[in-house]
Structure 1
Amino acid sequence: MKKFLLIAFTMVFLTSMSYAQDNSVKKELRKEKADAAYNYTKDLIISGDYVFEANRAYPLGTQSVTLTTRPNQIRINGKEADISLPYFGAVRSGGGFNHTNGIQFKGEVRNYEVEYRDDKRKAIIRFDVANDTETHRFFITAGKAGDTRVIVSSSARNSISYYGILGAPDKASR
């Protein structure tokens, strides 16, 4: 009986050791995969040529809106931006019928800054754009796999957030 208990105890011990090693290997693989995904996103931002495509918009104080059927993107190429985002929310100040339905901009950005938080696998991008009627401040947080949140503050509208993916520009659209 003692021999049986000793064999059973040994089997349980060896099985638990094997399980612990499997978990540590899986954990290390997940970490390596997350690091590689973050490094890809970071390299895109460093290159200065990337695109954000939103799949959801979160207007201030209301429900989210799916954007899969609406054209929307932020294209950064150096210090130039081509922005076309739908807007859902309230206009706070004048402009009347002169406001566009969305956030539209094409030209040079101002105050472009990038901060990398490698310990959290995040990159934070900030910049401003201005047209004749308003100024927009963009605050972009890109995560390890390109998962990205964009907050847009405006001088004439309520803030709005977008969630989507940051990635490489489509070679065909150049």
Structure 2
Amino acid sequence: LENDEYLEGGDVLPVTFDGRRVLLVGFGVRTTKAAAIKLALDLIPDHVDYIIGLSHDPALLHLDTGFTVLPNKVILAAAGMFGAGFLIDENRRLNPVNPLAYAEALGCSIVRCDKADAIAHERCNLLPLGNRRYLAFDMPAELKATLEQAAGVTIERVKGTEIAKATGGVHCLTRPLYC
């Protein structure tokens, strides 16, 4: 990456939608739109089918603070954080898109949590452990049950209040296993 192209791992989430390889790239405080465009030029079509860029609220350090994708097309997103974005398709054409509306059009269900809760407690920051198991910090029982039922996953909770105060979550601190 060069010049105004900055990218941090917490802003990049690889997913598949309907068998297509998608890279979600959040841009804001730590990652630039220019970096997402550079990724598209480098990765499409050999490694990624398309890229969705999500402009996130400057209060979020990274995309994974307020957004994650779970199995069964379930998305956990902080309310009011993602209204604008873009899609770079397989022909490397850039088009504006509302990321959450686009996800809903693909058949995704969106579970929303409070913006302040997402920021203070890294609520949307989940770590995939493999075999439909995830790890989360101190997730409220009601939200845990909703996500487990909708996504068909198991979420294990660990104490993370002190780590979350330093604006880090389980996804930020580890290497996810996508399987």
TM-score range, shorter chain: under 0.3
More strand by share: 1
More helix by share: 1
Could you say which structure has the greater relative contact order, defined with CA pairs below 8 angstroms and 6 or more residues apart? 1
Q: Which has the larger radius of gyration?
A: 1
Q: TM-score, normalised by structure 2?
A: 0.22
